Every structure is written in structure tokens, then in C-alpha cells.
Amino acid sequence: MLTTITHRAMAAEFAVILAESDAHLVEPALEALEFLDQIEARLTIYQDQSEIARLNASASRHPVAVSAETYALLQRSNAWSDRTAGAFDITAGPLVRAWGFTQRRGRKPTGQEIDAALARVGYQHLQFDDVKRSVKFAVPEMEINLGAIGKGFALDQLTATLQERGLANFLIHGGGSSVIARGDQVGGSGQGWAVGISHPTKPKLRLAGIRLRDQALSTSGSGKQFFHHRGRRFGHVIDPRTGYPAGDLLSLTVVAENATDAEACSTAYFVAGSEAIAEAVESDLALPAMVGIAAEQRQDSVQVLPFAKFDWIDPPAGTDPDDPLPRA
């Protein structure tokens, strides 16, 4: 018997699922969930007094000091930008806004609008001062949005808090696209937790199942947020290097040791696309495991492309678990 408790934060429904062995620790888990509100209060762009809102309001004019936790997260974000040649970029907000996705109403911007937004984007324009723990924007009207990494960071922080309170066997969902697991679904089994990979456009349809053993999972994609313009489909994930919707996959799922890196990696390599992923997994042995979902010609028909070996509970149809790399 599993016990589930939920909490609304960061525009998502967070759910902590406790194994039967930890069900007696519901109260400590409920108290820990409230910690999410503190994280959101620091990182959100929708509260004027948050650290990120203060950065966006003033860092174009002068350096702004932030907490140690926020400073470390900003540096970690830029490390992923360096690692992926800018495919991941927390300064891409002006582009998302130009395409109308900030208001969840997609629109096709003009070339001039895209160029104007691109002029205010670029992780390389963030200036860090490690001594003062401050950040300055080198370009006017830049802004930071941690939407592509903040939820993963919150999951990692919540996981640490739960463990400090004595919980050992649990799984946390953050809005469905981010998951972190600790211990076992069945106490003492050593099997970890069973997690499904869903169809990008039909989320109730499970394509495959894997086991998470003290790991995190993040899925990025454009299956839910998109619009059509003159017969062409535009997804909500924007390539910060070009200013246009990115990627040739419907979704990309990443399994990593922690949720922060899983979320950054899934965003970055969804932007980069399947060819870049195939090249990266051959050159970067420390890269998290990834599996992509690509559209086929028939409507809602998809192909599962594992870029690593997974501990499948049920392998996806048409794949060979012993030969995981997709063939172009």
C-alpha cells in the first residue's frame, strides 16, 4: 500500500509517494512539502521580492547579491550552457515571450521581433562575482528564468529534507515531467521504483517502463504546448541560439543521479536534437542516460529511440534492449 500526499507549488502539483515501510512518516513528509513554498519564493519571476525578480529588475544596472543556494544554481545552469554550447540557457525568456508561450498563447513573431529578443539573450553575458556572490547582466534588459531547471532543484532540495526527517523509501513527482526516487517501492527489495514513459501527445498511453534506483528522471518536449501557423507546427521549447522552436523529437527523457541535472540535460538535448545526442553520447561518457520519442508518418504513431541501456520493466516495442543506440 502506497501513501500519496500533494502540495501545489511552482505552477505544478508535487506529489510525495511513500512506500508502505515509510507510511508512518506522513507528518514529517507533510511538513517537508511546505519547504517548496520557500524555494518558490526565492526563484519565481512572478513575485517582486524573489531573488530572481530582483536580479531581473536591477542586474542590468549594477551587481545584485543573492543567497548561496541561488548563486550555486545560477552557476550550475551556466555550466550546462557551456557543456551544451548554449542549447541550455536560463536567459532565453525574451524569446519565449516573443513566441507568446509565456502567456500560453503561441504566436509567430516577425524576424525583427526575434532579432530584438536574441539581442537580450546569452548566458555568456552573465557576470559572476564569487567573492560578493553577486550577478550582473552585461546586456541591457536581460532576464533570468529558471523554469527549465528550478523544479529539478526543488525536487533535490525536498529529497534532502525528507531524508533528514528519516524517510528512506519514497518517490516525488513534480508536475509529471520530473521524478526523483529514493530507496525501494517495496521495502528491502533492492528493485527501486517502477516508472512509466508516456506517449508525448497521449499521456495516458504508456510506451515503456523503467526502474529508478536512487535516480531522477526528467522529460522535456513540445507534445502539450504548441500551435499551428500556415500548416506548420511550432513547439514551445525555443532554441536560444537561433530564436526558433527547437528539436526534431516529440520528447526526450533523461535519467540522472539528481533532478537538477536531469532537468537541465533533458531541456538542452531536446533543443539540440537527435543527431547531436547521438554524437554527445559517444564523446561524453559522463552524460546521463537518454531516450527520445520521435514522430512517425502516421498520426500519433511514434518511435522510441534509446540512447543508452536502461533497466526496462517492459521494453518499448520495436527496440532491442541489447543494442540500445538508434540507427539513423
Q: What is the pLDDT of residues 111-150, one digit of tens each?
A: 999 999 999 999 999 999 999 999 999 999 999 999 999 9
- pLDDT over threshold 50, residue 328: no
- Of the given ranges (77-81, 186-190, 272-276, 317-321), which has the lowest mean pLDDT? 317-321
C-alpha grid cell for residue 252?
526526450
Domain ranges of the chain: 3-27+161-314, 46-137
Reduce the secondary structure of 278-297 to three states and give it as a string: HHHHHHCCCCCEEEEEEECC
Please name the residues in contact with 312: beta carbons below 8 A apart, sequence gap of 6 or more: 208, 209, 210, 321
Q: Which fold has domain 3-27+161-314?
A: T-fold (3.10.520)
- For residue 174, the surrounding DSSP H or E stretch is strand 170-174
- pLDDT over threshold 70, residue 317: no
Answer whether 3-27+161-314 and 46-137 agree in fold.
no
Residue 53's alpha-carbon distances to 2, 38, 320, in angstroms, are 38, 15, 48
pLDDT at residue number 1: 87
pLDDT at residue number 324: 46
Nearest-angstrom CA–CA distance, 175 and 141: 30
Return the axis-axis angle of helices 150-164 and 35-43, rounded to nearest 10°.
150
Nearest-angstrom CA–CA distance, 289 and 217: 10
Indicate the pLDDT class of residue 200, thresholds 50, 70 and 90.
Answer: confident
Q: What is the pLDDT of residues 245-260, one digit of tens each?
A: 888 899 999 999 999 9
Quick one: CATH architecture of 46-137? Orthogonal Bundle (1.10)
Which residue from 45, 252, 7 is spatially nearest to 146, judged by alpha carbons?
A: 45
What single DSSP character describes residue 137? Answer: E
pLDDT at residue number 273: 94
Q: Which pTM was predicted?
A: 0.91
